[in-house]
A = this chain, B = another copy of it.
Amino acid sequence: MKYPGGIKKIKTISNISYKNRGMSLENDLNDTNDYYRDIDKAYIYKKPTPIKITKVDYPSRDKTVIKEAFFTIPSTTDYNGLYKGKYIDFEAKETKSKSSFPLANIHPHQIEHIRNIFNHEGIVFLIVRFTTLNKTFLLLGKDFLEYIDNNTRKSIPINYFEDKAYLIKDNYNPRVDYLKIIDNIIGGK
């Protein structure tokens, strides 16, 4: 991607720090998904960040520059794709908490999306990293929804993860080998 002459690249998205955005887990997952594609194992992508564009410029015929836009609330999870003919769908979040995962991290639309995917036989889950504890869990959509539907707490306690979720072991390559856990669940090689 080339930038038009004279326009200075001031900040790139990867240098911006966001509340609850979990860039480091995101980077690990991007590397992992790249790895899965490289070895022709799975085709799972992070969706582009949804934005609402409100102002554009056309400095030349072939160039469009967005001059004003805003981040919008996503209506689906961030990651989806294909593995062994199956539809895979997940959301990834980090928390600094040692005791629980705050549900404010997941938008109501996303919860509905997870429910819809679960009901229609997609493989849907959360990957939650407790950064302070250095633990990354895969919590199946089924167990996530079971908690949501039977509790009024605004967070999921860590012991629910210890009990119901799958711990994803640290790994060199791929960084976060979540398909290993999916293999065990769906019974693959």
Contact = CB atoms under 8 A, between A and B. Distances in A.
Nearest to A89: B82
A70 B66 contact: yes
Copies of this chain in the oligomer: 2
Candidate in A16, A37, A84, A85 with the most chain B CB atoms within 10 angstroms: A85
A130 interface: no
Interface residues of A, number: 53
A103 interface: no
A133 interface: no
A82 B47 contact: no
A65 B43 CA distance: 32
Nearest to A83: B120
B7 A121 contact: no
A45 interface: yes
